[in-house]
A and B are shown apart, each in its own frame.
Chain A
Amino acid sequence: MRLSTRIRAVALASAGLFLAAACGGGGGTTNSNMAPPDKQILRANDGTEPNSYDPTQQTYSYEAAVGRNVFEALLKPNAELTDVKPAAASKYDVSSDGLTYTFHLRTNAKWSDGKPVKASDWVYGYQHLLNPALAAGYVDPFFDGTIKGAENYGSIDVTSASAIDAFIAGLGLKAVDDNTFEIKLQHPAAYFKWVVTLWMAAPIRKDVVEAAAGGSFTSSDTTKPLAWANDAKTIIGNGPFKISEIVSKDHVTMVPNPGYWGGAPHLQQIIYYFIADGNTAYSKYQTGALDIIGVPTADITVVRGDPVLSKQAHLYPQLTTFWMSFNSTKAPFDKAAVRMAFAKSIDRIKLTKDVRHDTDQPIQSFIPKGMAGYDTSDNAQAYDPAAAKKLLSDAGVTASQLNSFKLLTRNTTGSKTVNQFIVDQWNTNLGLNIQLDVIDSKTVTSRIRKGQFDIYGPDGWGADYPDQQDWFDIFTSGACHSLNWGCATIPGYDDLVKKANTELDQTQRNKDYLTAHKMLIDNAVVAFMYQAYEYDLVAPYVNITQTSFDDQNLPGDQNWQTAYITNH
């Protein structure tokens, strides 16, 4: 019985809020009104406690919010999200055939215990991530069509240490010397530079892991290799911060990592709380006990109307789109015209302005605003109830065929509210009588994985990195039952996407993805609804110098090393 308003997501660089970044913190811009070091404490609501503090095992935004600060990947996205820029690696080369990536590591990079970061640590980290026995949650981008030797990740016998050892030894990972890390790929993949920016791709210290495990262990051991991440003292990372304290179910505290190559941050403490209840976080903010929270949906109008709070609230666009999914294997949803009729009967403006309180923005296409591929030229799914009705009748579909259908809904307030509105729209505009089916969230997931639904939503996707490959793979026929819940198949789509994924010429890729984009919209594979925007309250004395799409859960959480507190 949880009454939580969970705030999800992936945030995005917002032109209006982006100030000149002080790269690497420390010696950058200072403000004479800066608070003294003992007051440089930031308290934010991360929402949910991470399942693990081992970065390779972290899957969700609230986990990456910690992992990104304690560990650093080889590269990171630049501010405009057009390309990657150096992070833990000072530069990288790609061979002409696109199969070998060579990363030149920073020579002044140090772990939080002072030891230098070596290429062998990177090799160990990637091997740790790709160990099938550890079952990392989000390891797919590293074996599915990318790293050489990893293709068979899914078929290794995890009980056999020798099988695992052989698999790991065969991976295309090499420490050429202490400062050079080389990765070989299965075939060219222009988006791989983005994959290495993910938070799971972190270096790990073998000696730390083994010490915490009490000695060496076999590769089929599922618990010993993860023991190091259970205690703040043994979590040694290469990021700008390190974990000083973990209080289970309550908060995690981070302090500056003295060895970080980018210099010392202004913030001396970052405390992430795990408050699931929106009202609780909101109350804490109002009494000055929290500095950054996501505004609960129900309170958005209150905040907007409050003279003080409205000045502290900001809208942050995210690279996240939401849609409704139809089960394309179930007649009459196998007809594109029927799906299109449903897509055209949703008044997106009312949905976003009223029901979503004017935070999210309506969208009728797939790729969200802010990344390459955003394109609004195709209006096929635009709101037009008359045209929608005509589509239905032209297809010869009657209400009786559809009235037994149910909209599968997760038992969260957000889902229930949006879906009640959407069903009302369909029933009013198309003359139907579709009912909701509100079910416990796990059961919903297990049903959609088996394809046991008629309509499901709100479904969506938040970018892991701003490359279109991350998006278009969702609707391939191979993703049926794993992301393409409706199992829609469009002739030519799979091949087109595969071509675009492996193509090295960026212009050609963009062209191909655009064609695929139109395919998705015109076939009404799903009904696109809105792009998510986060509405957050940030205390006036908190200065976030840079927000990035990478921000996992809170505005600016990828660049805390440049943030600071002013006197208050």
Chain B
Amino acid sequence: MAIPVALEQAIDWEIGEHQIGLWQDAWQRFRRNRLAVLGAALVLLLVLIAFISPLLVHFGLIIDPLKQQVEQIEVGPGIAGHPLGTDELGRDTLSRLMYGSRISLSVGILVQGIILPIGLAIGLAAGYFGGRIDNLLMRFTDIWYAFPDLIFVLVLVSVFGPSLLSIFGAIALVNWVGLARLVRGQVLSIKEKEFIEAARSSGSAPLKLIVKHLLPNSLGPIIVTLTFGIPQAIFLEAVLSFLGVGIQPPTPTWGQMVFDGYEAIYANPTSVVFPALAIGFTLLAFSFIGDGLRDALDPRMRR
């Protein structure tokens, strides 16, 4: 009978001869995962582009992303010195993509950074404490789900003004609920497993246990939610700017480029495809990292 590959990898064939720390171990495994390293390299590349694109513009190596050339509206890739074509005002798509990485990467990543602690905290609290606290917190999330996000955002911005902070805040506040419920579900299914009972009876503080066992055993879905949240946040930024809460044109962002490119889908399909590909690259890179991270942190994964 064939052993499924996944099981074979999961089975602890060898007993390590020496103990090394969890994090060192994790790091070593991460490094050996080719895809994870590739993902990390891609992310570093994107971050590098984000940092140096103003310099490139300054030194004339790429066209100014704000420069309009209305004689060259919506040209295709490779025409008139524009490697990826132009947009609805004749601005170079490649430089707009490079420039746009600054905002879009920040939005995509930082927003997850805000969602993570909120979702984790609430999900953990609800799942661990259970009872009345779980009920109240979950009913609170029910209300939050039903919230008309658009109005909330409109009001938020009319009160706090369209700054970068209100954008991050708005996106994060609108999207933490899914993560919280996910974490809660994970905690619930972990809570009554035998090794928890066993550890509890041996005197370890239950909360620390939940966290220590939660991390390696059920991080997977959490990581997936966070990585999928990145393109979601990027598009939400575009939606917000549509409501006037956000990055004002002409500053390019990937999300807005996709939205604007949609209108020109018959005239110049690449104007929507290229920014979407950029977003796709980012998602792919973080997915590789996420997978690698989870594999690295799993104590049962031995190679």
Direct A–B contact present (CB less than 8 angstroms): yes
Chain A 339-362 interface 0/1 with B at a Cβ cutoff of 8 Å (1 = within):
000000000001000110100000
Q: Is A1 an interface residue (CB 8 A)?
A: yes
The one of A278, A302, A420, A439 that contacts B250, using a Cβ cutoff of 8 Å? A420
A443 B266 Cβ-Cβ under 8 A:
no
Would you call A299 and B260 a contact (CB within 8 A)? no
Contact B154 A298 (CB under 8 A): no
The A1-34 residues at the B interface (CB cut-off 8 A) are 1-3, 5
* Residue pair B89, A301 in contact (C-beta under 8 Å): no
Closest chain-B Cβ to A297's Cβ sits at a distance in Å of: 8
- The CA-CA distance from A299 to B239 in the complex, in Å, is 23
Interfacial chain A residues near B248, Cβ < 8 Å: 435-438
Which of A279, A302, A416 is B262 in contact with, Cβ under 8 Å? Answer: A279
Q: Is A296 part of the binding interface, using a Cβ–Cβ cutoff of 8 Å?
A: yes
Interfacial chain A residues near B92, Cβ < 8 Å: none
Chain B proximity of A278: nearest CB distance (Å): 7
Q: Is A102 an interface residue (CB 8 A)?
A: no
| A126–B150 CA distance with the chains assembled, in angstroms | 41
Interface flags for A344-384 (1: CB within 8 Å of B; 0: not) read 00000010001101000000000000000000000000000
Residue A470 is within 8 A (CB to CB) of chain B in the complex: no
Say yes or no: is B78 at the interface (Cβ < 8 Å to chain A): no
Asked if A393 is an interface residue, CB under 8 A from chain B, the answer is no
Q: Contacts of B41 on A, CB cut-off 8 Å?
A: none
Tell yes or no: B243 within 8 A of A by CB: yes
Other-chain residue from B249, B260, B266 in contact with A279 (beta carbon distance below 8 A): B266
Residue from B88, B154, B262 in contact with A3 in the complex, judged by beta carbons closer than 8 Å: B262
- Contacts A298-B74, A301-B74, A440-B244; A420 near B89 (Cβ below 8 A): yes
Asked whether any CB of chain B lies closer than 8 Å to the CB of A424, the reply is yes
Q: Are B68 and A424 in contact (CB under 8 A)?
A: yes
Whether A350 and B244, one on each chain, are in contact in the complex, defined by CB atoms closer than 8 angstroms, is no
Question: CA–CA, A2 to B264, complex, Å?
Answer: 15
Residue interface mask B63-78, A partner, CB < 8 A = 1: 0001010110110000
The reply to whether A440 and B263 form a contact with Cβ atoms under 8 Å apart is no
The answer on a CB contact under 8 Å between B243 and A416 is: no
Assembly CA distance A417 to B250 (angstroms): 9
B241 in the interface, Cβ–Cβ < 8 Å?
yes
Say yes or no: is B242 at the interface (Cβ < 8 Å to chain A): yes
Q: Per a CB cutoff under 8 Å, which of B70, B239, B249, B260 touches A436? A: B249
Q: Is the CB of A411 within 8 A of B244?
A: yes
Q: Chain B interface mostly helix, strand, loop or mixed?
A: loop
Q: B262 — which chain A residues lie within 8 A by C-beta?
A: 3, 279
What are the residues of chain A within 8 A of B74 when measuring CB–CB? 298, 301
Interface string of A97-140 (1 = CB under 8 A from B): 00000000000000000000000000000000000000000000
Give B153's nearest chain A residue, CB to CB. A440
Alpha-carbon distance between A439 and B162 when the two chains are bound, in angstroms: 10
Q: Is A510 an interface residue (CB 8 A)?
A: no
Q: Does A413 contact B (CB under 8 A)?
A: yes
Q: Indicate with 1 or 0, residue by residue over A442-457, a CB within 8 angstroms of chain B CB atoms.
A: 0110000000000000
- Return chain A residues, CB-CB under 8 Å to B267: 298-299, 301-302
Contacts of A354 in B (CB 8 A): 70-71, 73, 90
Number of B residues, CB within 8 Å of A: 28
CA gap between A516 and B61 in the complex, in Å: 53
Q: Known contacts A354-B73, A420-B249; decide if A1 and B158 are in contact (CB<8 Å).
A: no
* Chain B residues whose C-beta falls within 8 Å of the C-beta of A443 in the assembled complex: 154, 158, 244
* Residue interface mask B245-285, A partner, CB < 8 A = 1: 00011100000000110111111000000000000000000
Task: Report the minimal beta-carbon distance from A433 to chain B, rounded to whole angstroms.
Answer: 11
The answer to the question of A282 belonging to the interface, with a C-beta cut-off of 8 Å to chain B, is: yes
Q: For A302, what are the chain B residues with a Cβ–Cβ distance below 8 Å?
A: 266-267
Let me know if B263 and A296 touch, CB within 8 A.
Answer: yes
A421 CB–B CB distance under 8 Å: yes
Given known A438-B248, A438-B249, A443-B244, contact A299–B266 (CB-CB < 8 A): yes
- CB of A421 within 8 A of CB of B266, answer no
Contact of B68 among A279, A411, A421 (CB under 8 A): A421
Give A437 to B246 CA distance when docked, in angstroms.
10
Is B244 within 8 A of A5, CB to CB? no
Complex contact A411–B243 (CB within 8 A): yes
- How far is it, in angstroms, between the C-alpha of A43 and the C-alpha of B250 when the chains are bound? 38
Among A279, A357, A411, A440, contact of B265 (Cβ-Cβ < 8 Å): A279
| Nearest chain A CB to B266 CB, angstrom units | 5
B68, closest chain A residue (CB): A424
* Residue in B158, B265, B267 with the greatest tally of chain A CB atoms within 10 Å: B267
User: What residues of chain A lie closer than 8 Å to B154, measured between beta carbons?
Assistant: 440, 443
Specify which chain A residues have a CB less than 8 angstroms from the CB of B241 in the assembled complex.
411, 438
Option from A298, A435, A436, A439 in Cβ contact (under 8 Å) with B264: A298
CB contacts (< 8 Å) of A297 on chain B: these are 263
Min CB gap B250→A, angstroms: 5
Please determine whether A3 and B263 come into contact, CB atoms closer than 8 angstroms. yes
* Complexed CA–CA distance, A296 and B88 (Å): 13
* 9 interchain pairs, CB-CB under 8 A: A3-B263, A279-B263, A279-B265, A298-B74, A298-B263, A354-B71, A357-B73, A413-B260, A443-B154
For the A-B complex with A279-B263, A424-B250 known, give 18 more contacts whose Cβ atoms are closer than 8 Å: A2-B242, A3-B262, A296-B263, A298-B264, A299-B264, A350-B70, A411-B242, A416-B249, A420-B68, A420-B250, A421-B68, A421-B70, A435-B248, A438-B244, A438-B249, A439-B244, A443-B154, A443-B244
> 3 shortest A-B CB distances, which residue pairs?
A439-B244, A354-B70, A298-B264
